[in-house]
Amino acid sequence: MDYAKAAAAVQQYMDGLTGEDVNVIVDLYADDAQIEDPIGSDIVSGREAITQFYGGVLANIKGAELSGPIRVAANEVAFPFQITIGAGDAPMYMDIIDVFKFNDEGKVVLMRAFWGPENTRS
C-alpha cells in the first residue's frame, strides 16, 4: 500500500465518521472484512454486519480529526485520531488508534481499534 492511497483511505474514514452516509465508510471495506473495535471485543465480520456496526456508531459521533501523522508499513496503516461524542454542555472526547490492513485491491480486510476507558475524557 503506498502512502498516498493509505492517506486517502484514512481521510475517507475521517470524513465518514462525521457524515450521515454510512456507505462512505463501508465502501472502504472488502466483502469479507473484519472489525475488532475495541481490541478484545467481539469481531464484526462481513459488510452487512459492518454496515450495522457503523450505523450505530455514527449516530453518537459529532466530530473526528487526526491527532498525529499516519504510519504506513507494508499493507497496513496506523493512525491516531480523536472523536467528539455528544455536544452542548457535556461533550466527551476519545483518543483512538486504528489500524487498517489492506488486501491487494486496496480494500480494508481488517480494522483494529486501540482504545479503552482511560482514553475517554470530558
Q: Which residues are catalytic?
A: 13, 37
Q: How many CA atoms lie within 13 A of 119 on its CB side?
A: 14
Asked whether the CA dihedral 108, 66, 4, 9 is positive or negative, the reply is positive
C-alpha cell at 9: 483511505
DSSP reduced 3-state for 3: helix
**The three three-digit cell numbers of residue 66, written as one number:** 487526526
Q: How far apart are CA 120 and CA 115, in angstroms?
A: 8
Cell match 486517502: residue? 8
